[in-house]
Amino acid sequence: MSTDASSSHMAPTILQRLQQACVIPVLRLPQRETATRAIDLLLEAGFSTIELTLTTPGAIDLLTTLRARAAADFLVGAGTVLDLDTARACLDAGADYLVSPCLVPGLAPLTMARGCAALIGGFTPGEVLAAWRDGATAVKVFPASSGGPSHLAGMHAVFPEIPLCPTGGVSLTNMSDYFKAGAAFVGVGNNVIDQAALAAGDDAAVVRHARSFLTLAAAR
């Protein structure tokens, strides 16, 4: 089966930088203040990208603030983008890449036209192929926990040229297995943050825990 892969599907610079980053922290926190603290600690831990989901209160304003504060080579992602109007707002706020849990027709072409990247969700072979043919830079295999590394390995075997980013249930325990299964990079949800330490104000413990994901990814 041909996936009609071509360079037109990719924003090479952003894709390569995400592959180099290895791990995308995916923040989905209930309070803006908590999200702001988590962002600061992830920056301290050394992450080169963060995906801020739009379920976070004031997410678009936070995107603007993060883009203004972070280094020029830091990649700002907007997650749970479900329609084109929201996509435009996120791009205007400074997002470098947009992430959707499913195929949103036109989202990838819109994003690519702005020189940014689109990570479009898919779980079944048909959904992965549809996302790729719509122009996705990479396909977010979601929820990864439903199929585990073996499911990702099956997808990678069928679509070896499609960059796959498993998200949802990726942890320190199984992250290496996802890379062995063919992940181009991974999305790690709120477990990238030590929630108890964050609540207790133990910033050093939060940074140490988050940094362990980078250490593990570097050793793969």
Which is more confident, 148 or 69?
148
Handedness of CA 102, 104, 106, 110 (dihedral sign): negative
Confidence tier at 7 by pLDDT (50, 70, 90): very low
CA angle 178, 179, 181 (to 5 degrees): 65
Query: Does residue 2 sit within a domain?
Result: no
- Does the active-site annotation cover 127? no
pLDDT digits (tens, 9 = 90+) for 125-142: 999 999 999 999 999 999
pLDDT digits (tens, 9 = 90+) for 40-71: 999 999 999 999 999 999 999 999 999 998 99
Catalytic residue of the set 33, 51, 127, 161: 51
Q: How many domains does the chain have?
A: 1
Query: Does residue 1 sit within a domain?
Result: no
What are the two backbone dihedrals, phi and then psi, of residue 115, each rounded to the nearest 5 degrees? 75, 20
Query: Does residue 126 sit within a domain?
Result: yes
Q: At 162, which CATH number?
A: 3.20.20.70
- Does the active-site annotation cover 140? yes
- Rounded to an integer, what distance in angstroms lies between the CA atom of residue 116 and that of residue 15? 10
Q: Give pTM, 2 decimals.
A: 0.92
Domain that holds residue 93: 7-218
- Rounded to an integer, what distance in angstroms lies between the CA atom of residue 117 and that of residue 20? 15
- Rounded to an integer, what distance in angstroms lies between the CA atom of residue 91 and that of residue 110? 10
Catalytic residue of the set 33, 44, 140, 161: 140
